[in-house]
Structure 1
Amino acid sequence: MFIVLQILGIFAFLVFIFVSLLFLLATWLKNNSIIDIAYGPIFAFATIGTMIITKTYSALPIFMATCVCIWAFRLSLRILFKNIGKPEDSRYAAWRNKWMIEGKRYFLIRSYFQIFILQGIIICVVAMPIIVSIAAGDALLFWVVIPGAIIFV
């Protein structure tokens, strides 16, 4: 259990760095909807980064990381091509207009926590199977993963 918590901590730290940098980019672009495009790649980068930091190179985590990367970049490209050339998503634009009434500082703080940090927390929760597979290495029976791989394909 302690190993899982350590790996969750590393994963969460990497996610925090990515969403914080993304927040700075979104602030500069004045477009918070880039979090939607980056959602998948954050999973992929945090997964790969966690595997590198923990020096986990066994078959099961590599297999799961490969599946995560395929899913992440497919999702990202789909959202990117859907949103390319369009203004900020209407949900984020509505929040921007509503929160800016309270001032820019309020808008920035609210955006950071309600959009970016919240997405980071969701990513960490959804990524628990990845985190457990990194912690377990090949200790998990590979046959447990086969039904998931079939569903993935």
Structure 2
Amino acid sequence: DVAWGLGFVYVALITLFISSNFGTVQNLATALTCIWGLRLAIHIGSRNVKKSEDARYQIFRDKWKDSFLPNIYVRIFLLQGALILAISTASVGVIASDEPASKTTYLGFLIWTFGIAFESISDWQLRSFLKKKKVGEIMQSGLWRYSRHPNYFGEITVWVGAGLAAVSLGSHWGLIGPVVISFLILKISGIPPLEKRYKDNPKYQAYKKRTSSLFPLPPKSR
């Protein structure tokens, strides 16, 4: 999980140095990608310090037994690498472009920056809550009052901003990035597992009825 964010940093830096285009737009796109990826890696890494092996990997270890290593390599690490490359089309589309920036490019950068800030604040608020939560409590303050998954909203926003900037520079394939990350979060590995985990929790179900799933909105009246 720590390597997920670092993978995007690696792709961005490699693209910058291969393209040898160190213009303002390219440097800014690389910096934003590195800020996002490094923050995510530090957040996940510090969260998992002193914890045992991820429960998902324990399940895989029991399931695959003697073939654990080749299976984990192909089904997890290679798959994650492919997803990183697919999502990175947005940032790479900006970094590798020689086209002049437009107002739309800078609008993309603003959305990109907003997404990083929104995701960072969401993660910080949740982490602060978890340090002092009581048994059975559900996080529903701060940004979590307006969205059940504000961190995921921030992450999608990051790649929408990057994709918009890429398209404005002629890299229309940069739209692959926001489409892939949105699909992953909305349908596969983001929101669905979390919603399933709390499906029998009355407090969470009450929170669910009045709070938007992703896009921040004023909560419904109780």
Q: Of 11, 19, 24, which aligns to 1:59?
A: 24
Deviations 1:82-141 (A, max 9, x none): 1001011111111111111xx2xx21111101110000000011001122113313x153
Mark the runs of 5 or more structure 1 residues left unpaired by the alignment.
1-35
TM-score, normalised to structure 2's length?
0.48
How far apart, in 1, do the equivalents of 2:53 and 2:102 lie?
A: 43
Query: How many residue pairs end up in the alignment?
Result: 113
How far apart, in 1, do the equivalents of 2:33 and 2:75 lie?
A: 25
How far apart, in 1, do the equivalents of 2:31 and 2:45 lie?
A: 21
Paired residues of 1:41 and 1:72 also in contact (CA < 8 A): yes
**Which of the two has higher C-alpha Rg?**
2
Q: Of 55, 71, 77, which aligns to 2:42?
A: 77
TM-score, normalised to structure 1's length?
0.68
**Match of residue 25 from structure 1:** none
> Which structure has more helix as a fraction of its residues?
1
Deviations 1:21-74 (A, max 9, x none): xxxxxxxxxxxxxxx011111111221122112212122111111000111111
Q: Which stretches of structure 1, 4 residues or longer, exceed 3 Å deviation after superposition? A: none
Question: Is 2:47 the counterpart of 1:87?
Answer: no
Question: Is 2:96 the counterpart of 1:131?
Answer: no
Mark the runs of 5 or more structure 2 residues left unpaired by the alignment.
115-222
Which structure has more relative contact order (CA 8 Å, sep 6+)? It is 1
Paired residues of 2:11 and 2:88 also in contact (CA < 8 A): no
How far apart, in 1, do the equivalents of 2:77 and 2:85 lie?
A: 13
Paired residues of 2:4 and 2:41 also in contact (CA < 8 A): yes
**Match of residue 120 from structure 1:** 81
How far apart, in 2, do the equivalents of 1:91 and 1:140 lie?
A: 45
Query: Once superposed, what is the RMSD of the aligned Cα atoms?
Result: 1.4
Q: Percent identity?
A: 30
Paired residues of 2:16 and 2:96 also in contact (CA < 8 A): no
